[in-house]
Structure 1
Amino acid sequence: MNRAFAAPIHPDATLYGAPPWRFAGRSLTVLAECDGVAGLVPAPLKPVADVVRFSVHELQCDLGFGWDWAQRNPHRSQFREAVVGIAVEHEGRIGHWDPFLWTDGDAELAVGREMYGWPQRLGHMALTAPHPIRGLGVGDHVAGRVGRLTEGVFTCGVTLDREGEPDVPQPPFVGFYTERALPDPARRVLVRELFFSEMREVQVRGVYSGRATLELVAPELRALGPRRVLAGKVNAVAWVKDASIMVARIEKAF
């Protein structure tokens, strides 16, 4: 079967296949009260709080080719991401808006920008691994470091004080708003399309939380502050990403 879906249109070279995509991995997230949130959220979305999540993920994804393919091709299915996320709402539907993302995977970079509208950029990430025998537990420290090209982006960490979620309000991991911005070179217009994508079959396991640290380095992040670092957590997570709903579409000449 020819699985070619995205350029290059070749069954052995296409970067990714058609959705649904299946993800699994582990995450470090630090939650902080920040300034400048409203300035990072485009209309018609509205921020619902000034709490921003800073996450580093180590993930595996089948890229639309099935889980057997993911297991047999770790060089393509495994990657890392770092995300800055803001809780937003539109017409009563709450979701996450991610104004900044970094990844070290070419398929994630391509599908994020070409198909769904996540503003992926290349970066390099490091995340403390669980102990190979005993895993993670109370008293452990998990750190994440994010960089782009030769510069730092942000660093974060959490000392695990307890099992379970931190006592900080968080929107559920059920959906994301994204904006695809594609210049049309023939008509000389910029097409901006706002989507909502529901995350299906979400599973979260092995949650630990505790005191957290956060340092923002990249120029685009400095306006966020943060005012106060609230807490951090680590967990394993799995979900399925499929089709999206279009929320808005505009064209502007350039």
Structure 2
Amino acid sequence: MLKGYTLPRTPRGTSSLAPLPPWHYVGNAIAVEFDAAPTAAAAFLPEGLELHSGRCAAYFVEWQYASDTGEEYLDPIRSQYRETIILLSASFEGAPVAYCPFIWVDQDVSLMRGLVQGWPKQIGSTWITRAYDLPSKAAPVVGPGGRFGATLSAKDRRLLEAQVTLREVTETLPSPGFAKAVNTRYFPELVAGKHDSPAVHELVQLKSRDVRVSPVWKGDAALKIFDHPYLELPDLKPASVLAGYRFSFALTVDDLIPLRDLRADTQAADDRATAVE
């Protein structure tokens, strides 16, 4: 009998790309809040979500991960990765939520875990300025005047650049936040005649637990989104940049909240169209 939470499933089940949840994470983040054109942001939202505002956020995160029974961080290549996340401000049935149209990661294990949760992950290269416990010209302070940079590239093209200069501690996290984001789980069908009928198409909401957040530093920020020949990220270019943040946080993921089966909505719409004809 083959075992494993994800493919590949094998006799002992130890070769799965992503192991059985729970998944424990800790990370250092640089975040930038910005406003995009509301009509452009709204165009990215799936059925079931409405635009709350043009407020967006870009997160650049250095993560470290461990499973419930393992100590993957002792083999750092299995545990560490970097990620860039774009979030939009949306609402679901009147309640404010976040929605992710784009996300890039540099590890296949993280990509698999993300696809299970509905994050639309792609492979990309994220780099973030690091702070250290010793004062040095080679590192910023986590305090007033500390300057941090972050970049994202994918397929040899620069996509994003950000800089943050810290000013003060704040009680407020960047908005929109991603701990309880709403995602679209989507898996297409390859059977002939069913290419327009996905095997999985549903809205889900993340359900994190044991969330811990360090002191949050806030300051001034700059963000640039570069033009691209086919990627639609430039549609979300900042109309204005609002603020930058630097903080650390930890959370555990082992659950998901199904919100709506979008296949049923599509079938109902097709049935109505057929009845009209």
Q: TM-score, normalised by structure 2?
A: 0.82
Q: CA deviation at 1:93?
A: 3.4
- In the other structure, the counterpart of 1:215 is 224
Contact 1:173 1:199 in 2 (8 A): no
Matched AA of 2:56: V
Distance 1:130 1:91, change over 3 A: same
- In the other structure, the counterpart of 2:186 is 181
Matched AA of 2:80: Q
The gaps in structure 1 that reach 5 residues or longer are none
Q: Distance in 2 between matches of 1:201 and 1:25?
A: 14
Q: Distance in 2 between matches of 1:51 and 1:89?
A: 12
Contact 1:197 1:242 in 2 (8 A): no
Q: Distance in 1 between matches of 2:71 and 2:238?
A: 41
More strand by share: 1
Q: Which has the larger radius of gyration?
A: 2
Moved more, 133-142 or 148-157: 133-142
Q: CA deviation at 1:182?
A: 0.8
Aligned length, in residue pairs: 248
Q: CA deviation at 1:125?
A: 0.7
- After superposition, give the CA deviation of every residue in 1:79-99 in whole Å (9 maximum; x if it has no partner): 010011012221233321110
Moved more, 7-16 or 141-150: 7-16
Where in structure 2 are the equivalents of 1:12-27 lying within 5 Å? 12-27=14-29
Distance 1:129 1:169, change over 3 A: closer
Determine whether 1:41 maps to 2:45.
yes
- In the other structure, the counterpart of 1:124 is 125
- After superposition, give the CA deviation of every residue in 1:110-155 in whole Å (9 maximum; x if it has no partner): 1222x11110000001000002425522111010000001101111
Q: CA deviation at 1:173?
A: 5.0
Q: CA deviation at 1:210?
A: 0.6
Q: Distance in 2 between matches of 1:77 and 1:248?
A: 33
Where in structure 2 are the equivalents of 1:36-75 lying within 5 Å? 36-62=40-66, 64-66=67-69, 68-75=70-77
Q: Distance in 2 between matches of 1:13 and 1:132?
A: 37
Q: TM-score, normalised by structure 1?
A: 0.89
Percent identical across equivalent pairs?
A: 26
Q: Distance in 1 between matches of 2:95 and 2:72?
A: 33
The gaps in structure 2 that reach 5 residues or longer are 136-140, 268-277
Q: Distance in 1 between matches of 2:3 and 2:152?
A: 33
Q: Distance in 1 between matches of 2:78 and 2:227?
A: 28
Moved more, 182-191 or 198-207: 182-191
Contact 1:181 1:193 in 2 (8 A): yes
SS of 1:37 mapped into structure 2: helix
Where in structure 2 are the equivalents of 1:1-254 lying within 5 Å? 4-10=4-10, 11-35=13-37, 36-62=40-66, 64-66=67-69, 68-113=70-115, 115-134=116-135, 136-165=142-171, 170-171=175-176, 173-186=178-191, 188=194, 189-190=197-198, 191-219=200-228, 220-251=232-263
Q: Distance in 1 between matches of 2:32 and 2:134?
A: 26
* RMSD between superposed Cα atoms in Å: 2.2
